């Protein structure tokens, strides 16, 4: 595994790989790797000749009140895992490499970024799409791999790729869960044992919603209402939103219809930790 820290070297390496006819897979991360990240790496190695993992904690996707400074970091542990998984290149640029002095340009995907996460974290997606666009330009991947846990993020990036005419396939990989059902996240480390138990209420609500939909409850508002009741039973959870959206375009569902795919979404605070989760439902 080779570590690259400059944009110039990453450009050079990616050009050489592309000229050799090999397919590049990019797995963008903020580090503090867990099984969810590793599932993306496995998929990249399955589909691509060369896998590049980027590690960059991106300040522009954090609001001033959020956890940029205390976001968990363990580069030594990350490097050990990446070597075990035979990753070809790890791209670890400094803040100055990505956002040098005088940086002025941002990428913003309009409508799809406004609701759900966009409502509660207004600048978040502008930061995400900007840094992902920069990484795409540095690595020039054929495929890029994202996790379903951040379903809206994946939808926003797909829209950006379509709008800006990137010749990149976006692969969205299923959520990886802890044994107790909690969706894997680098932020889970913030949860106390008691908070972790309470956090399982979110997954419980999602699973109940899925059961209702698979049982032919076609009114999304009734499903959402049931989710709110379940989550409301745990008084210490502060709910941000629940929602049901179609997977194409991330539009809120007015009616759940046969033959379509939907995400059941939830975001909430458990103690001081903000968690998101979702479930994909396919109606045959």
Q: How far apart are CA 142 and CA 51, in angstroms?
A: 10
Q: Are strands 2-4 and 89-91 parallel, antiparallel or unpaired?
A: parallel
Q: For residues 107 and 118, give the distance between their C-alpha atoms in angstroms, rounded to a whole number.
A: 15
Q: Which of 282, 279, 283 is CA-nearest to residue 149?
A: 279
Which of 11, 37, 77, 124 is an active site residue? 37
37 is catalytic: yes
Q: Are the CB atoms for 55 and 26 separated by under 8 Å?
A: no
Torsion of CA 15, 17, 22, 26, to 10 degrees: -80
Contact 43, 171 (CB under 8 A): yes
Residue 107 contacts residue 137 (beta carbons within 8 Å): no
Catalytic residues: 37
């Amino acid at each position: 595994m080779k570590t690259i820290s400059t944009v110039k070297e990453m450009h050079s390496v990616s050009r050489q790989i592309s000229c050799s006819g090999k397919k590049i897979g990019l797995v963008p991360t903020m580090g503090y790797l867990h099984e969810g990240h590793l599932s993306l790496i496995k998929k990249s190695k399955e589909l691509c000749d060369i896998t590049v993992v980027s590690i960059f904690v991106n300040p522009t996707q954090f609001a001033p009140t959020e956890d940029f400074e205390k976001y968990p970091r363990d580069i030594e542990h990350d490097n050990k895992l990446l070597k075990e998984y035979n990753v070809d290149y790890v791209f670890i640029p400094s803040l100055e490499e990505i956002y040098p002095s005088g940086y002025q340009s941002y990428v913003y995907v309009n409508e799809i970024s406004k609701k759900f996460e966009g409502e509660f974290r207004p600048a978040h997606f502008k930061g995400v799409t900007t840094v992902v666009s920069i990484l795409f330009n540095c690595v020039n991947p054929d495929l890029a791999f994202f996790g379903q846990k951040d379903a809206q993020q994946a939808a926003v990036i797909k829209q950006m790729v379509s709008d800006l005419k990137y010749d990149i396939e976006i692969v969205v990989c299923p959520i990886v869960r802890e044994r107790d059902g909690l969706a894997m996240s680098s932020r889970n480390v913030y949860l106390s044992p008691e908070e972790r138990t309470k956090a399982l209420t979110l997954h419980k609500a999602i699973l109940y919603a899925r059961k209702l939909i698979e049982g032919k409850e076609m009114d999304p508002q009734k499903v959402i209402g049931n989710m709110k009741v379940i989550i409301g039973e745990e008084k210490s959870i502060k709910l941000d939103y629940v929602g049901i959206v179609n997977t194409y375009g991330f539009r809120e569902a007015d009616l759940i219809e046969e033959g379509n795919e939907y995400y059941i979404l939830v975001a909430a605070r458990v103690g001081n930790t903000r968690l998101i989760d979702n479930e994909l439902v396919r109606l045959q």
